[in-house]
Amino acid sequence: MRIRVVFLAGLVVAPAVLLAAPEQTATLQQFETAVKQTGCATIPYPDLLESCIKKHESQVTICNKPSSCLPAKIKPLRDAINVQVDAKTADIAAVEKSKKTKRDQINDLQAKPGNVEKIKQIEARIAEDDKRIAALDKERYEIKMSMITRLDERRALAVDCQNARAQVQDKFNKARERAKDEEDVKIVPLAKQLIDKYEASSNAHDTANKDVHENIDRCDPEKNAASSNLDDYLKQK
């Protein structure tokens, strides 16, 4: 219980007692409906039911996003990035080949007098090639770096999914505790059925959470491998 004291012109006017919202009860009919349902609909208490539905909608949105770092799940991502890297490498090789052709032209021109202006023009084009290679190399680096970024994003999503699942499970846990306190002789048998459902839900939650934990645990090793790959690439430069 919290006490709010209101001050007006330095004087205590009146104390106001702030009470937490009372827990909502459920009718026999709501229990009879709940035992026939699945998911959040098994919660007969209106406040918990409404909250559970909202939290579950959020969980579905979050957990349906790609958050797995398991090798089989990130292979398509890695393959797609490798294709982009290979494309940039091919582009760089093409520009390097063009540079070589221009240098050969300069060598031929240098063997003859009166070609100073032509040589300068070709050298200017070679300088443009160098800028293009630098730009392509930067793009290739950023593509490689994106693997690390995507793994970080997946890990963050996995943590968000884990938290979202916990928020939904919290509603079932609270519903279970309320159901244990039911005393109406007609409601008690139904409450016991719901408690069994909540226990099963808790077990399913634990299994799903274990999978999420595995995803999170795999993200760091995969990120370390990607970082090592990037380091090797930089050393070759």
87-96 tens-digit pLDDT? 999 999 999 9
Mean pLDDT of 73-100: 95
- Cross-strand partners of 18: 2
d(CA 51, CA 1): 23
For the chain, the domain total comes to 1
pLDDT higher than threshold 50 for residue 5: no
Is residue 140 within 8 Å of residue 89, measured between CB atoms? yes
pLDDT range class, residue 3, cuts 50, 70, 90: very low
Amino acid at 53: I
Q: What is the dihedral of CA 210, 214, 216, 221, to 10 degrees?
A: 160
> Residue 144 in contact with residue 229, Cβ under 8 Å?
yes
| CA torsion through residues 98, 99, 100, 102, sign | positive
Dihedral of the alpha carbons of 160, 67, 202, 43, in degrees to the nearest 10: 60
By residue count, the chain amounts to: 237
Output the pTM of the full model.
Answer: 0.71
Handedness of CA 150, 213, 228, 90 (dihedral sign): negative
Q: Say if CB 194 and CB 171 are below 8 A apart.
A: no
Q: In terms of residue numbers, what domain contains 73?
A: 2-236
- Which of the residue ranges 5-14, 63-72, 87-96 has the most confident prediction, judged by mean pLDDT? 87-96
Residue of 32 and 3 predicted with greater confidence? 32
Give mean pLDDT, residues 61-79. Answer: 89
| pLDDT computed for residue 237 by the predictor | 63
